[in-house]
Amino acid sequence: MTDKCPAPSHASLVWFRRDLRCFDHAALYAALKQSQTVFCVFIFDKTILDHLPEHDRRVQFIHQSIVELAHELEKLGGSLIVRYGHAEQEIPRLAAQLQVDTVFVNHDYEPQAVLRDDAIRHHLGQLNCHFLSFKDQVIFEKDEVLTLSNTPFSIFTPYKNAWLKKFLAEGSDFYATPYPIERYAKHLSAHTDRQIPDVQQMGFTTSEHSALPLQGGMSAGNELFKDFLSRIHHYEVARNFPAIKGPSYLSVHLRFGTVSIRHLVREAINCTRTSASMQGAQIWLSELIWRDFYFMILHHHPRVVGHSFKPDYDAIQWESGTSAETSFAAWCQGRTGYPLVDAAMLQLNQTGYMHNRLRMVTACFLIKDLGIDWRWGERYFALHLNDFDLSANNGGWQWAASTGCDAQPYFRIFNPVTQSEKFDPDGKFIRRYLPQLSRLDNKQIHAPWKLSSTILKQAEISLGHNYPAPIVDHDTARKRTLERYAVVKKPSKKMAP
């Protein structure tokens, strides 16, 4: 639901968070429409940044996005105030300095963000300043798509069907209608403080362009989307092969809101009506709906942060001790001896990006080949993924671990060699990140430990030296996994609260 201002606002403040754009922006639109004067702010929040490594690429992406946002707001007649500090302190302080009577934001659904917003709402209330929040980063949220019995969905397909039914019943322009910012831009107010702290001032290093696969900002997001639309008709097939240009590469832009979900869904719906693009667009639209689904799950079941969606699965005994820590380190560093898994982890470590197919492969390998708690992998991805989003990351890991809603069955265990042969048949992706295997042919490269010593010598590969031997036997690991999951063969029907 959209909040309404109790009365027309004399002066207001729009706080940008995961919505770094000045077009089709719910909170900005509401503030401009209801206020005589609108200031804009972004906080580099130390509460978040202090826990990140100094080389975190996301800070650079955000900085690039903020620089462009500030420039575009100036073109509209306003400006962007940028602060480096703790949001719980900076927002009330700035509201008092500017003498605003309302702070406008877009919803953030993560548990810690909800607590932060509640605290800021309380502080602002003591200043007689309202705090209004709006839906912006999803099409449907919270209780907007429910079962016929008025309860949250826990299975994706019926949720998707209900989502589409509701969306299409009102026409494709109703729920995806853009907010016309420029119509009310005259209410934007410029502020004298236009300084933006640089990345180094905040204690972070900058990455070379080649190490950052995506550039921040609205224009970069728009260019990526235009490029994707030109090849969306291939998406149904191309999305599964990490060596080719198949994905949209928009996930980090969705995460930080440099693109509008309404615009993406509108275009996806339009493409589903074109025969040449229909199948690819339908698959991509489903993935956007998955995103709404996981936000809904997080809202109704916040316990998924740290616990299984299916409580019975918390009884699983994972590997522990030194051996587990050693195996986990090998997985993190791309030293498992399984080329596709290793190449995927090296891609993540070097770029902050990982192809979606490979996220499933690496997660399933960690959980069901190495027997390691899915939460370890979830935390590692959270630290390294440019596009880390709590709801989607948690949902993906719980899917792989079979602990989540609508997850893969516990007995479905990816074979990393079969996955490699199927989705990187020519070994092109593997060679990109494991050049020491480049002399192997397209059949040999997927399982080098199966090769004769003669072939390995000819390819200049020494297992255990310039490439590791497998740290686990897949067939043996599969049997151990089935034994590990025996505690949930007959799970109870109770749901997580």
Q: Return the active site residues.
A: 287, 290, 318, 356, 374, 397
Quote the CA–CA distance of 319 and 112 in Å, as a whole number: 29
39: β partners: 13
**Residues contacting 303, CB < 8 A, separation 6+:** 496, 497
Task: Output the CA torsion 125→130→136→138 (10° steps).
Answer: 40
Q: Any idea which residue has 């607590």 for tokens? A: 115
The DSSP string of 205-224 is: PPPPGGG-SS--SHHHHHHH
- What does DSSP assign to residue 270? H
| Residue 38: closest CA among 123, 102, 84 | 102
Quote the CA–CA distance of 14 and 35 in Å, as a whole number: 11
Cβ contact 111:305 at 8 Å: yes
Quote the CA–CA distance of 230 and 25 in Å, as a whole number: 26
Q: Which two tokens stand for residue 89?
A: 């302190």
Q: Any idea which residue has 């690496």 for tokens? A: 362
What's the angle, vertex CA 209, arms to CA 56 and CA 357, rounded to 5? 70
What's the angle, vertex CA 216, arms to CA 211 and CA 220, rounded to 5? 105
Phi, psi of 399 (to 5 degrees): -65, -50
Phi, psi of 42 (to 5 degrees): -130, 135
Quote the CA–CA distance of 327 and 468 in Å, as a whole number: 12
Task: Measure Cα distances from 481 to 27, 331, 400, 485 in Å.
Answer: 48, 17, 13, 6
Instruction: For helices 356-364 and 374-384, give the axis angle rounded to 10 degrees.
Output: 150
Phi, psi of 71 (to 5 degrees): -65, -45
Task: Measure Cα distances from 146 to 141, 234, 318 in Å.
Answer: 10, 33, 35
Quote the CA–CA distance of 56 and 34 in Å, as a whole number: 38
Cβ contact 44:83 at 8 Å: yes
